[in-house]
Amino acid sequence: MTSLANRFPPEFLWGTATSAYQIEGAASVDGRGPSIWDTFCRTEGNVLNGDTGDIACDHYHRFEEDVQLMVAMGVKAYRFSISWSRVLPDGTLDSLNQAGIDFYNRLIDCCLKHDITPWVTIYHWDLPDALEVKYGGWLSNEVVPLFADYAALCFDSFGDRVKNWITLNEPWVAAVLGYGQGVFAPGHCSNVEPYVAAHNLLLAHAHAVERYRVDYQPSQHGIIGITNNCDWREPLTDSEEDRQAAEVALEFFLGWFADPIYLGDYPQCMRANVGKRLPKFSEEEQALLKGSSDFFGLNHYTTMYAAKQHADDPGQSVYGNGGLSEDQGVSLSVDESWPKTSMQWAVVPWGCRKLLEWISKRYDNPPLYITENGCAYDDELESGQVIDEERTEFYAQYINECANALENGVNLQGYFAWSLLDNFEWAMGYSKRFGLHYVDFETGERTPKESAKWFARLLSQESSKKVVGSAA
Question: Is residue 64 annotated as a catalytic residue, yes or no?
Answer: no
Q: Which is nearer to ligand GAL, 51 or 170 (CB)?
A: 170
Chosen residue from 130, 144, 162, 173 binding ligand GAL by CB under 6 A:
173
Q: Which lies closer to ligand GAL via its Cβ, residue 270 or residue 417?
A: 417
**Contacts with 94 (C-beta within 8 Å, 6 or more apart), sequence order:** none
Edge-first strand order for the sheet with 303-308 is: 232-235, 303-308, 330-333
Nearest to 425 by CA among 66, 41, 6, 112: 41
366 touches 410 (CB < 8 A): no
Closest CA relative to residue 451, chosen from 396, 401, 382: 396
Site for ligand GAL in 259-318 (CB under 6 A): 299
Q: From residue 225 to residue 264, what is the string marking binding to ligand GAL with x (rule CB under 6 A)?
A: ----x-----------------------------------
The yes or no reply on residue 184 touching ligand GAL (CB under 6 A) is no
Beta-carbon contacts of 238 under 8 Å, excluding residues fewer than 6 positions away, are none
* Residue 158 CB partners (closer than 8 Å, separation 6+): 104, 105, 108, 120
> Minimum Å distance from CB 258 to ligand GAL?
16
How many chain residues touch ligand GAL (CB under 6 A)? 12
Angstrom CA distances, 389 to 318, 375, 378, 401, stand at: 27, 12, 11, 18
For ligand GAL, the closer of residues 252 and 434 by Cβ is 434
Identify the residue among 5, 8, 15, 19 touching ligand GAL (CB under 6 A): 19
Report the alpha-carbon distance of residue 403 to residue 407 in Å, rounded: 6
Residues 104-163 that bind ligand GAL (CB under 6 A): none
Q: What's the min distance (Å) between Cβ of 432 and ligand GAL?
A: 7
CA distance 417 to 367: 18
Assess contact for 107 and 119: CB atoms under 8 A.
no
Shortest Å distance, C-beta 384 to ligand GAL: 26
Which window, 166-174, 250-258, 284-292, 312-320, contacts ligand GAL (CB under 6 A)?
Answer: 166-174
Phi, psi of 212 (to 5 degrees): -65, -45
Please list, residue by residue across 114-128, b when 16 or more beta carbons sit within 10 angstroms of its beta carbon and e when fewer do: eebbbbbbbbbbbbb
Among the candidate windows 57-65, 165-173, 333-341, 352-360, which touches ligand GAL by CB under 6 A?
165-173
For the question of residue 170 being annotated catalytic, the response is yes
User: Nearer to ligand GAL by C-beta: 369 or 434?
Assistant: 434
* Part in contact with ligand GAL (CB under 6 A); list of ranges 70-78, 169-177, 289-297, 354-362: 169-177
- Catalytic positions are 170, 372
Residues binding ligand GAL (CB under 6 A): 19, 22, 169-170, 173, 229, 299, 372, 418, 425-426, 434
